[in-house]
C-alpha cells in the first residue's frame, strides 16, 4: 500500500508541475457545454461542469487539467470522448474535492489531493486516486482501455 500511495503522489505532483499551459482559466473555470482540444489546461480556481463537455482529438492526444481547487459536476453532466480521444489520456489533477453529481459520467484519471465523492448513479471510465478518501454510492467505475 505504501508503494501505491507513493505512486499516486508522484503522478499528482507530475501533473501539477507541468509548465506552460495551453489554456489558463478558460471561461473562468465553467467549461460547461464546451468542446475542448487536447492540451494543458490550468485553472487558478475550481472547475464547474453543468452540461456535457466533449474532449475531441486523435488517438494519442492528451488532456491535462491542473485545478487549484476542486471539480463540481452537476447532476446528469458528462464528459464525452469525441473523435478518437481515449480516457487513459485524460488527467484531472485537483487540489480540492472532486464532486460528481447524481447520474454524471466522467472520462479520465482523477488525481485529488483531498476527496473524490460520487453521488448515486455517477460513473467513471478511468481511475480514481485520492490522498484522503473516495466515497461511492452505487457507482460504476470502469478501467480505461490500455
Tens of pLDDT, residues 18-65? 999 999 999 999 999 999 999 999 999 999 999 999 999 999 999 999
Domain residue spans of the chain: 2-142
pLDDT tier for residue 1 given thresholds of 50, 70 and 90: low
Instruction: Kindly list the strands in the beta sheet with 79-83, ordered across the sheet, starting from the edge strand earlier in the chain.
Output: 35-36, 53-57, 79-83
The C-alpha cell at 16 is: 501539477
Model pTM score: 0.94
pLDDT of 119: 97
The half-sphere exposure of 102 on its side-chain side, counting CA atoms within 13 A, is 1
68-105 pLDDT, tens per residue? 999 999 999 999 999 999 999 999 999 999 999 999 99
pLDDT tier for residue 4 given thresholds of 50, 70 and 90: confident
Phi/psi class of residue 87: alpha, beta or left (left: φ > 0; alpha: ψ in -120 to 50)? alpha
Q: Decide if pLDDT at 134 tops 90.
A: yes
Q: Beta strand 35-36 with 71-73: parallel, antiparallel or unpaired?
A: unpaired
129-137: average pLDDT: 92
Amino acid at each position: 500500500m505504501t508503494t501505491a500511495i507513493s505512486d499516486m503522489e508522484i503522478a499528482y505532483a507530475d501533473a501539477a508541475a507541468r509548465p506552460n499551459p495551453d489554456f489558463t482559466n478558460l471561461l473562468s473555470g465553467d467549461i460547461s457545454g464546451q468542446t475542448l482540444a487536447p492540451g494543458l489546461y490550468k485553472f487558478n480556481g475550481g472547475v464547474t461542469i453543468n452540461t456535457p463537455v466533449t474532449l475531441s482529438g486523435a488517438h494519442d492526444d492528451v488532456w491535462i487539467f491542473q485545478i487549484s481547487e476542486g471539480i463540481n459536476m452537476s447532476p446528469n453532466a458528462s464528459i464525452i470522448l469525441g473523435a478518437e480521444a481515449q480516457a487513459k489520456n485524460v488527467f484531472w489533477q485537483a487540489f480540492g474535492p472532486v464532486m460528481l453529481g447524481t447520474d454524471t459520467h466522467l472520462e479520465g484519471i482523477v488525481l485529488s489531493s483531498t476527496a473524490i465523492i460520487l453521488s448515486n448513479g455517477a460513473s467513471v471510465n478511468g481511475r480514481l486516486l485520492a490522498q484522503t478518501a473516495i466515497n461511492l454510492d452505487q457507482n460504476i467505475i470502469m478501467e480505461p482501455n490500455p
